[in-house]
Chains A and B, each alone.
Chain A
């Protein structure tokens, strides 16, 4: 019996208002250098899934590793849902899909020898180790082939293959007890060969780590800040993207009021989108993990709050359309509302003009990461530069930025014209589900009155 047939056969045992089964297989291999030696080499192969049943608005969930006994898992999920549900099941309607999407490769990583992959990261590792002051390195290659099957009592079915390759590299420079680091990565869902030709980027990462040893710490204060595209992408993801996820809003009237569509929230030339349909991007899938097709969604349009990101439940409860943003990081996790590929729409200002407007500020570059508490966000730059009299100046380190989303969005006064979407490794964490591949992109942005932490 095919997996599709097994899923639908098991669903016949559902007694709930709604029931779905998601089953996945995942094969992963990874190689890593750390310092002069290969640090790790490993492979894994997992399978398993989750049954979700909704009865009178309550959810029953059963996580499993094997397809054996699947009908029993369905029954148990329905029993759990019946125990919990006391209201009305509200799930938005979406035209059911019935589709199988094998992966489409430009260059497939399967069939390429691990020798070749190891030689490539060895080459990058040697470039880093050759740079003076570099004490240690981390260069890794990872590949993943995930196959997701889904079926629901609404007749929805999909199978989607979701491959990915990542090459990540970082350098740790040392001077006495002082340690500094720098990193970068590149990823692709379809083209294994993107990880080649990174020699110049790798060298830049190593040289930057070494230079940061001599760079002074950023002085804490309130500044005009220019964010490079990488950091600006993280900024919009943390500052606004998470707040747009409707599971933070849907049963909270105060939050719905805070995030009302039509609210003036940013300058009129500022727009933000989330789009899971852009080919080849980390957050792109044909459908989300509830079977809703992914699509372009405006979050901010011409300065006004334009929409939210939804699952079937949040869409129904907020009276909005489902947007294809219910995602699960892997088997055994329920889908929750997540971003896909979030970006600031391209502006019109050449980057050099953004600098020209700043007497004293900070140019913050690269991203270590960020975090949000919805209204408050923080994100940290890999490195920065002072801006003095409109020019990029001295390299500085430990640049960490924080803000209140509403004040900060309104303080954006310059949007560059250099938007590019280059997939990286890493991912987003939420609700214990990490790292979920997402894209976060932006042109350069200039923002006034940003609180920057520092000694």
Chain B
């Protein structure tokens, strides 16, 4: 039934692209998505909800008379009407920096869909979340515990006037929990979750339990936070706080529009030679797996920063045209699946060498400032104090500040990484920490 639905929709999309061309579009593309999901959730330590979802969506993108506009919806019976709306809207559309979507090109064959995910039944979700909740209740009966699991199956279609007609099916699961400990006026929150496109060793309820237990253990005692510039230890789950301003700044759109601090700096050393940042959209079953972008351009593995030197910006088709560059196959001028290189020393050894510093797990208010300049200034959401190489307790009421580029000039990456193998641990020197006097 699924195949029939996809075929029927494909025919509609192909007809839709022809309709757009008859309406005067020099280029047109239509994407379609259909998603079915089930989930179960625990709240306050007990089974609370079970949900089912089925949704549809389509987007239309046209170029007419050098102007670009789009429309979207979820009622396929209105596809023609939405195509006509997009054509009409093009009069007030944005300037298009390309005239045609490219012809089909060879792409890497990737795996997105696994029957193993469809084997996750609702009963299994309830059983696994129940085990997580029970295990955490053993840690502390007063913990307020939530847990949830889901599985999704998704089909997508891309049809362009350049002749691309691409169909993919994907699956995904998620599994996670969060806890809240309240004592007097003190609230501690901790949580962890995982997801992937195939059921493998990543689906591990003990990993969820152990992570939360670890965070709770080191948060049992609240200690004084340091003040001033310190060394900061970031985990694979928090290192994004250092890298996301850089990743955002390599957007070709931001560069050509003038609001990226990296404009004009290809070939320059922008961060430490200890750091290499790559984008790899070709990892089977990953959340970033993508064989082509939404214009039909093949994606590729790219080194964005090589040993500290900026190598490339990321361009979608339109932005490449605006910038006079080659498209890199990156939708929204964003990477799909960021990887960092590994360093020389294991993270535990790096931790041991910190005399007085902070261990950052989570931030509060990250990005609500001048992050486009790389300026980080926010609250440490969950963090610990490190003294003489040991975590000595939780810190509260503490702000951290620094510029991501400056911090990444003084950084060491670990030789070990997260379970996905894409992010190491990191220590930076010079994070400014302020706490209540």
Q: Which residues of A contact B (CB under 8 A)?
A: 29, 31, 34-35, 37-48, 58-66, 76-77, 80-81, 83-84, 86, 114-115, 117-118, 135-136, 172, 174, 177-181, 220-222, 251-252, 254-255, 258, 332, 368-380, 397-398, 400, 402-404, 406, 449, 451-455
Contact = CB atoms under 8 A, between A and B. Distances in A.
6 contacts: A42-B89, A61-B51, A86-B46, A178-B373, A181-B259, A374-B187
B51 A41 contact: no
B434 interface: yes
Given A46-B73, A86-B47, A406-B185, A174 B52 contact: no
B399 interface: yes
Given A66-B75, A254-B183, A371-B364, 12 more contacts: A38-B93, A41-B90, A44-B73, A45-B73, A84-B50, A220-B399, A251-B43, A252-B44, A373-B189, A397-B370, A402-B364, A451-B398
Interface in B68-105: 68-75, 78, 82, 85-86, 89-95
Given A174-B259, A398-B370, A48 B52 contact: no
B203 interface: no
Interface of B: 40, 43-44, 46-56, 67-75, 78, 82, 85-86, 89-95, 122, 142, 144, 180, 182-187, 189, 257-261, 265, 364-365, 368-370, 372-373, 375, 377-379, 381, 396-403, 432, 434-437
A42 B183 contact: no
Which of A39, A48, A254, A397 has the most B CB atoms < 10 Å from its CB? A254
Contacts, number: 249
B432 A455 contact: yes
Contacts of A332: 53, 55
Given A42-B69, A172-B372, A451-B436, A61 B52 contact: yes
A375 B187 contact: yes
Contacts of B72: 42-46
Contacts of A48: 55, 74
Contacts of B377: 380, 398, 400, 453-454
A177 B372 CA distance: 11
A258 B184 contact: yes
A178 B258 CA distance: 11
A182 B120 CA distance: 48
Contact of B257 (A34, A114, A251): A34
A452 B92 contact: no
Contact of A43 (B55, B75, B85, B435): B85
A281 B239 CA distance: 40
Given A114-B91, A453-B400, A369 B368 contact: yes
Which of B93, B142, B369, B398 has the most A CB atoms < 10 Å from its CB? B369
B368 A379 contact: yes
Contacts of A29: 89
A230 B46 CA distance: 40
The SS class assigned to the B binding surface is strand
Contacts of A376: 187, 364, 379, 381, 396-397
A118 B122 CA distance: 50
Given A65-B55, A380-B369, A455-B432, A80 B50 contact: yes
A68 B47 CA distance: 30
B365 A136 contact: no
B399 A373 contact: no
A318 to B, nearest CB: 13
A84 to B, nearest CB: 5
A61 B53 CA distance: 8
Given A41-B68, A374-B187, A378-B378, A400 B75 contact: no
Contacts of A178: 261, 373
Contacts of B260: 179
B261 A451 contact: no
B368 A258 contact: no
Given A41-B93, A179-B261, A453-B434, A83 B122 contact: yes
| A-B pairs, 8 with minimum CB distance | A453-B399, A378-B365, A220-B434, A254-B182, A251-B44, A135-B258, A80-B50, A61-B51
